[in-house]
């Protein structure tokens, strides 16, 4: 398969590319704008593999997208490019509207024009897989059942509203134009190569440096945590076995409160690298809550598991241990980022 993947130097996109290079014979055209959160290093061995091509381009640039599609003639598109940080969307929503809504619209129109040129067999086999978030569903109360593919949309932040809009566009292009689309919604991802403004790497790196560990509110907000390599395997399964027009909810059944996650990071780091000043929980500081902070996200992945033959392979404790070991072994990467591009004091979005 020739696969065009957008956002392939991002956290999840690079995990998908690494998975494809290691477990398939597919050829990948990686289209990435290379914004602050992109890392070519995260491609690892894929960066030098002849089956991978990196093109620096913006999905909102229709001419560039049409040229890339015409040149590389993909059999499928996996769309991961997005602005994804809630705090940044609160501070500056315009970039989220431009990339997540205008960019998705522009890509859809470019792909629709390309798809129309394919022969009947290629048209029937073509897929456009749009990767989204559970945040489009709003917030769950303590006793509410987890989100499913049938949950009504109720976005609460500029980020989640922009992703909800993009989901609706993708489904509309399927129902109106017949474009064979797939949508997947996932919960919180974590793992190697995550940009250090998100919750787990931010807390881990601050703890290693003896900085405060700021926790929004009382830390009771709950998220379902999915190891990124498990998510990558799920996305490949959606592309291979998903039904056009369908939605797939991808989760790990590993809910934890933010405070429990922070405490787990502290305990795991204390066991690996004790701090002479004492247990790292001493660094926890409760700070004013984020505006519109959703209380709980959790996904029921039953339908996806049955349809795709997929289940998360790692529990939270195993995935967290692997993640912390990776950050301990890759200090040069994150220390450079924190020194050059990131101030590091604000708590990152738990999503």
pLDDT at 76 over 90: yes
Inform me whether the pLDDT recorded for 344 exceeds 50. no
Q: Using the CB atoms, write b or e for 293-326: b if 16+ within 10 Å.
A: bbebbbbbbeebbebbebebebebeebbeebbeb
Other C-beta atoms closer than 10 Å to the C-beta of 281 total 14
Q: What does the block give as tokens for 8? A: 């392939």
Distances (CA, A) of 19 to 28, 43, 166, 236, 251: 11, 10, 25, 9, 18
Q: Is 58 a catalytic residue?
A: no
The confidence score (pLDDT) of residue 199 equals 94
pLDDT, tens digit, for every residue of 20-35?
999 999 999 999 999 9
Domains and CATH numbers, the chain: 2-195+226-254+296-313 (3.40.50.720)
Rg of the Cα trace of the chain? Answer: 20
- At 347 the pLDDT is 40
- State yes or no: is 345 an active-site residue: no
More confident residue, 190 or 342: 190
Query: The tokens of 300 are what?
Result: 């029921």
CA 204 to chain centre: 19
pLDDT of residue 41: 97
User: 250 and 304 in contact (C-beta within 8 Å)?
Assistant: yes
- 83 flagged as catalytic: no
Q: Which of 159, 216, 297, 327 is catalytic?
A: 159
Distance CA 247, CA 283 (A): 41
User: How confident is the prediction for the chain on average, in pLDDT?
Assistant: 95
pLDDT tens track for 98-152: 999 999 999 999 999 999 999 999 999 999 999 999 999 999 999 999 999 999 9
Please pick, among 134, 167, 197, 224, the residue that the annotation labels catalytic. Answer: 134
pLDDT score, position 85: 82
Q: With cut-offs at 50, 70 and 90, classify the pLDDT of residue 341.
A: low
Percentage above 70 pLDDT, the chain: 97
């Amino acid at each position: 398969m020739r696969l065009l993947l957008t956002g392939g130097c991002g956290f999840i996109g690079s995990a998908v590319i690494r998975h494809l290079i290691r477990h398939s014979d597919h050829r990948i055209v990686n289209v990435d704008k290379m914004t602050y959160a992109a890392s070519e290093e995260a491609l690892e061995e894929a960066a030098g593999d002849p089956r991978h091509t990196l093109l620096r381009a913006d999905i909102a640039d229709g001419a560039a997208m049409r040229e890339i599609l015409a040149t590389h003639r993909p059999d499928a598109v996996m769309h991961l490019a997005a602005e994804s940080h809630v705090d940044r969307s609160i501070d500056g929503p315009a970039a989220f509207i431009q990339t997540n809504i205008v960019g998705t619209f522009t890509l859809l129109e470019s792909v629709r024009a390309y798809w129309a040129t394919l022969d009947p067999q290629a048209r029937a086999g073509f897929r456009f897989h749009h990767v989204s978030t559970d945040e489009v569903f709003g917030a769950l109360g303590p006793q509410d059942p987890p989100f499913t593919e049938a949950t009504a949309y109720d976005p609460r932040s500029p980020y989640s509203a922009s992703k909800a809009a993009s989901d609706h566009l993708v489904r509309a292009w399927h129902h109106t134009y017949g474009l064979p689309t797939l949508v997947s919604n996932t919960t919180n991802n974590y793992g190697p190569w995550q940009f250090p403004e998100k919750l787990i790497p931010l807390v881990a790196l601050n703890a290693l440096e003896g900085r405060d560990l700021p926790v929004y509110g009382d830390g009771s907000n709950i998220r379902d945590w999915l190891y990124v390599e498990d998510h990558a395997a799920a996305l490949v399964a959606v592309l291979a076995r998903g039904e056009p027009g369908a939605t797939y909810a991808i989760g790990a059944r590993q809910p934890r409160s933010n405070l429990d996650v922070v405490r787990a990071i502290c305990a795991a780091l204390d066991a690996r690298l004790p701090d002479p000043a004492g247990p790292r929980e001493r660094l926890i500081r409760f700070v004013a809550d984020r505006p519109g902070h959703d209380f709980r996200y959790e996904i029921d992945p039953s339908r996806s598991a049955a349809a795709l033959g997929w289940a998360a392979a790692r529990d939270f404790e195993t995935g967290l241990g692997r993640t912390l070991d990776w950050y301990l072994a890759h200090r040069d990467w994150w220390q450079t980022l924190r020194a050059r591009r990131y101030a590091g004091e604000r708590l990152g979005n738990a999503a």
